[in-house]
């Protein structure tokens, strides 16, 4: 995808706004004890956050695995993000897969609360990386 710098920034901003909205949804669902939905929204909050700097760097992977691969290559391998972000993202993906597709899988309050916390941390770290594009 070829975009002008202003278009990349606008798309990046949209993705971060969506990440924050989904995180807010995750927090509300956790409060209402809708644990599966809290886990789902936590993952999608993190996914949108992660996709935000990727577009700034000229990448727009469409699959979940593609996002992980490009994030690792462009941000972890270069030292802009720690490998911990990828590990946390994988945890969120695994939990989301379990609650969305597992017929008998249950999620506990602790894991759901941890998912919301992980997503919030990822958003914070990603936002800091995004700031380096604007300097």
pLDDT tens figures, 41-60: 999 999 999 999 999 888 99
Q: Which helix (H) or strand (E) holds 17?
A: helix 5-31
Residues contacting 3, CB < 8 A, separation 6+ = 11, 55
Tens digit of each residue's pLDDT (9 = 90 or more) over 4-39: 888 999 999 999 999 999 999 999 999 999 999 999
Distant-in-sequence, close-in-space partners of 121: CB < 8 Å, separation ≥ 6: 88
Superfamily of domain 5-133: Nucleotidyltransferases  domain 2 (1.20.120.330)
Per residue in 92-121, pLDDT (tens digit) is 999 999 999 998 778 999 999 999 999 999
pTM, entire model: 0.93
**8-42 b/e (C-beta count within 10 Å ≥ 16 → b):** bbebbeebbebbbebbebbbebbeeebbbbbbbbb
pLDDT given for residue 5 in this prediction? 84
Q: So where are the chain's domains?
A: 5-133
């Amino acid at each position: 995808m070829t975009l002008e710098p202003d278009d990349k920034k606008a798309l990046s901003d949209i993705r971060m706004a969506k990440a924050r909205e989904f995180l807010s949804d995750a927090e509300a669902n956790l409060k209402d004890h809708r644990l599966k939905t809290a886990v789902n929204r936590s993952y999608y909050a993190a996914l949108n956050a992660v996709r935000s700097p990727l577009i700034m760097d000229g990448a727009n992977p469409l699959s979940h695995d593609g996002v992980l691969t490009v994030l690792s290559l462009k941000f972890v391998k270069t030292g802009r993000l720690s490998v911990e972000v990828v590990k946390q993202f994988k945890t969120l993906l695994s939990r989301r897969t379990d609650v969305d597709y597992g017929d008998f899988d249950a999620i506990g309050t602790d894991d759901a609360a941890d998912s919301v916390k992980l997503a919030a941390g990822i958003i914070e770290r990603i936002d800091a990386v995004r700031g380096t594009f604007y300097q």
